[in-house]
Amino acid sequence: MPEPKKPAAASAPKPTAPLRTEHASILTRLHSLAERIEKLHESATLDQMSLAREVLEFVAKNVSPHARAEEYTLYPAADWAAGEGSKLTETVRYEHQIVAKRCQALEKEISAGAPAGRLMHHCYSILSLVTAHFQVTEQVLLPYLDKAFDTARFEKEVLTPLRVERSVKR
């Protein structure tokens, strides 16, 4: 008796695989930065401020462009994939605003010469929010996109515009 055939989709990579890989890369760098923040209190004051600024720079160079691109292309696609009237992306859109507000708060703390504990609190807050945001995106949004798109269509309609939008300097 011949073996039953496996469905092709089971072995094929998910349409969102490139985005998941990008998320993993950003999270690897984020976790490396978080490990350095663990020792912030052991550093001299100027080094503490410098390390806290690295968190702001990380967000500005890696997270903010990614967030803008998500709002431009990924979230409309996810809302479409979830069905008419979907509010699937409301929370993740709001998370972008929370990260921005936390970055503003960290900037104020740095400017005020805040003690190490305050800086660590704000840094961990920002890095934790970004980590949680990526988890929600991967576990809640991307499955809708994997069901609604094949790889070629996802590349053309979502990933390519996302990359273009991310590269725009603002």
149-164 per-position pLDDT tens digit: 999 999 999 999 988 8
Report the percentage of the chain scoring pLDDT > 90.
Answer: 86
> What pLDDT, on the 0 to 100 scale, is given for residue 163?
87
> What pLDDT, on the 0 to 100 scale, is given for residue 170?
58
> What pLDDT, on the 0 to 100 scale, is given for residue 78?
97
Token pair belonging to 104: 């503003």
Is the pTM for the entire model greater than 0.85?
A: yes
**29 has a pLDDT exceeding 60:** yes
Which of residues 92 and 8 earns the better pLDDT score? Answer: 92
**1 has a pLDDT exceeding 60:** no
* Predicted confidence band of residue 10 (pLDDT cuts 50, 70, 90): low
Q: What's the mean per-residue pLDDT of the chain?
A: 92
> What pLDDT, on the 0 to 100 scale, is given for residue 162?
87
> What pLDDT, on the 0 to 100 scale, is given for residue 169?
66
> What pLDDT, on the 0 to 100 scale, is given for residue 5?
46
In the predicted model, what is the mean pLDDT of residues 84-93?
Answer: 94
